[in-house]
Amino acid sequence: MKVLYVLFLALLLSGCGDLCSVDLLSESKSPDGKYIATVFERNCGATTPFVRVVSLRHAGSGFAPEEDDDWVFTIHGQSDINVSWVENTELIISYSATGDTPTQRTRWKKLNIKY
């Protein structure tokens, strides 16, 4: 019985982990193949809205949705999001309005981002 109590306590203290699901919606490589723009959706349960995200990463590195330093665009709701590369270092993000004010970055490392 003591062992069960210790295991239960350890589970409580460690938390249950990330309860959000992630659905990858699309990916697009830069023309030179060095970067990848990923559009995905986070669903954290019935009491929170869906969040659509555009994240950037170097090609060759795996998709890591928890790396929010790489998020360059977020919007609550299920906005239609399209990404297109103008050139190797310039990305255009277009999206449909959801009533939410999105979070938008205009730079990520050496890349320029336009909306």
Residues 44-64: tens digit of each pLDDT: 998 889 999 999 999 999 999
Residue 41 is predicted with a pLDDT of 98
Output Rg (C-alpha) for the chain, integer angstroms. Answer: 18
Instruction: Confirm whether pTM is higher than 0.85.
Output: no
Q: What is the mean pLDDT of the chain?
A: 87
Measured between alpha carbons, how far is 115 from 110 in angstroms, rounded to an integer? Answer: 17
Max Cα distance, the chain (Å)? 63
Measured between alpha carbons, how far is 108 from 96 in angstroms, rounded to an integer? Answer: 22
Spans of all domains in the chain: 18-114
Higher pLDDT, 9 or 87: 87
Measured between alpha carbons, how far is 81 from 96 in angstroms, rounded to an integer? Answer: 7
Q: Half-sphere exposure of residue 39, counting CA atoms within 13 Å on the CB side?
A: 18
Measured between alpha carbons, how far is 44 from 2 in angstroms, rounded to an integer? Answer: 34
Residue 18 is predicted with a pLDDT of 60
